Structure formats: C-alpha cells, structure tokens
C-alpha cells in the first residue's frame, strides 16, 4: 500500500477490527491507535488491537494514513480541527452518512480526504466487539472522490482491496438516499419492533416464543443509541422518506388483511420475493 504508518481514531468495533486486520496484512507498518475513552484504551491494549497507543490525537495526523472510525458527529467535529498535515497524508472516515461529512471537510484538507462507508458491522460495540476479517467480502462505498487527491484515492483503493472489500463509487447525496433504505430505515424498524414487544403487558412471555425470524429482525435494536441518534439526525430527510414508503407498504397490507384479500396478500409477498433476484 506504500504507507509506513497508519493511525486509527476510535478503537471500537470498526476501528478495532480494521486494526486487527491491518496488523496481519502489513506487519512492517506501524499501526497507531487513539481513543478518548479510557476504558476503550485499556481494552484495546489488552486485546492488542494496534501496535501502540497515541498519547494525543496529533500523533495520528503524523501518520501516512489516518482512519476516523468514530460516530458521524465526532467526525465532523474532528476534521474541522485538523491542520499542519503533509500533502501526501491520506485521511478517511468510515461514517454511515456522507453528505454532511463531505460538506464539512475544510478546503485546506479536502484533497487529503476520502469519504468512505464500509457496509459492514454488528450490533455490538467497543474494543471487545472487534473481529478480524470483519471487512472481508463486504462492500465499501467511496464518495465524491473527484475532490480527493490522486495519491489519496490510490492509497484508499489499495487499502480496501487488501481488506478484501468490493469497492463502489457514488456521490454523497445518492449514498445517503440509498443508505436510508438499505441501512438506516431497517435500524429504525428494528427499534420499533423491539419497543412494540416491550410495551405489551407481558413481553417476557412473548419473547419466550421468539424464533429465528424475530431474533434476526430485532438483533440490530441492540445497536448503540448514541451512534444511531446522530445518524438519524444527519440523514433525517432521507430516513423520513424511506419510513414514509415503508408505512405505505404496511398500510396496504393492513387494508388487504382487513378486506380478507388473500390473493392480494399472496401477490404482495410474491412481489417481495423478487428482491432476492437482485441481491
């Protein structure tokens, strides 16, 4: 990849996982980690997620490649404070929203920055959730790369290819529109499903009957509320649009059920089956 040092800000699931993988892929490269959470620092050290821990975030900007694996609001806050970096330094974020982040990148570091979204993760968080191989075989979206330097684009392309990821390119506006349907709305639905059950008179008895379907659909309701509140806020308009379309489908199903329109329900489900023809 042509970099001698890689800095990772945020040593939770995403940052810790990429640290584990990069240590194996590039044993001669120095992997430096930084986290403001003292518990995360201790856990990352115990788990050997990086080669060493930085005393301050300024050390990260001295690396050839800096990875921001932190919540989307924190990304925006931090990038506005970056200065005095080499023109060859590459900075990437791994946020689940892209438009507001891209619009917030200071002109002084715009060519240094490549906005990315690895489409992977679990409902768990923190350094103990880190998984070696988390990125392998998954898709990563690179946004607005025409504003990034050629060197930076090449570094990031090599990074994600080495991790075994499938790279696609997209403008940040389209990314946020599509992510609302494929990621953000499903999280909202999972939270809604969990709350629907928990607000019944005897939720424990209901959950006692839970099979694989319920567990799969409610699993991501365990995701970090802090992280997802900021994602919903940054992508509010697109999430509202996706929820509107979802509610229309539920309303259609409710009407067919009320009308005992079994043929309509069967066709409705058959139409849904066709999704897997394009997955």
DSSP one-letter string for 31-52:
EEEE-S-HHHHHHHHHHT-SSE
Give the model's pLDDT for residue 83: 84
Angle at 32 between CA 70 and CA 112, to 5 degrees: 65
- Distance of CA 154 to CAs 12, 207, 272, Å? 26, 49, 39
Closest CA to 235 of 191, 173, 192: 173
Going by their DSSP bridges, the two strands 113-119 and 139-143 should be labelled as antiparallel
Closest CA to 246 of 177, 186, 206, 159: 186
Enumerate domains of the chain plus CATH numbers. 5-170 (3.40.50.720), 175-277 (1.10.3660.10)
Give the model's pLDDT for residue 241: 98
Q: Is the model more confident about 211 or about 253?
A: 253
Chain center to CA of 238: 16
Encoded tokens for 131: 């998984």
Q: Is residue 279 over pLDDT 80?
A: no
pLDDT, tens only, 100-153: 999 999 999 999 999 999 999 988 999 999 999 999 999 999 999 999 999 999
49 in Cβ contact with 129 (< 8 Å): no
Give the model's pLDDT for residue 1: 66
Place 92 in a pLDDT band, splitting at 50, 70 and 90: very high
User: What number is the average pLDDT over the span 31-48?
Assistant: 95
């Amino acid at each position: 990849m042509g970099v001698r040092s890689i800095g990772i800000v945020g040593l939770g699931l995403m940052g810790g996982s990429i640290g584990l993988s990069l240590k194996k892929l590039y044993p001669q490269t120095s992997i430096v980690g930084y986290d403001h959470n003292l518990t995360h620092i201790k856990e990352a050290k115990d788990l050997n997620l990086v080669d060493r821990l930085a005393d301050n975030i300024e050390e990260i900007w001295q690396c050839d490649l800096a990875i921001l694996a932190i919540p989307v609001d924190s990304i925006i806050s931090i990038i506005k404070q970056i200065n005095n970096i080499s023109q060859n330094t590459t900075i990437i974020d791994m946020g689940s929203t892209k438009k507001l982040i891209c619009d917030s990148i200071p002109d002084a570091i715009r060519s240094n920055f490549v906005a990315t979204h690895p489409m992977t993760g679990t409902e768990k968080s923190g350094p103990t959730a880190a998984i070696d191989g988390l990125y392998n075989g998954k898709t990563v979206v690179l946004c607005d790369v025409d504003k990034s330097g050629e060197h930076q684009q090449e570094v990031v392309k090599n990074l994600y290819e080495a991790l075994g990821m499938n790279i696609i390119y997209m403008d940040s506006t389209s990314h946020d529109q599509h992510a609302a349907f494929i990621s953000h709305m499903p999280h909202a639905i999972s939270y809604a499903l969990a709350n629907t059950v928990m607000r019944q008179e005897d939720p424990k008895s209901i959950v006692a009957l839970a099979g694989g379907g319920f567990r799969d659909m409610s699993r991501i309701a365990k995701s970090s509320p802090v992280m997802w509140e900021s994602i919903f806020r940054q992508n509010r308009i697109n999430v509202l649009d996706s929820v509107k379309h979802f509610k229309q489908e539920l309303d259609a199903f409710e009407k067919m059920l009320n009308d005992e329109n079994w043929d309509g329900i069967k066709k409705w489900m058959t139409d849904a089956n066709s999704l897997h023809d394009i997955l």
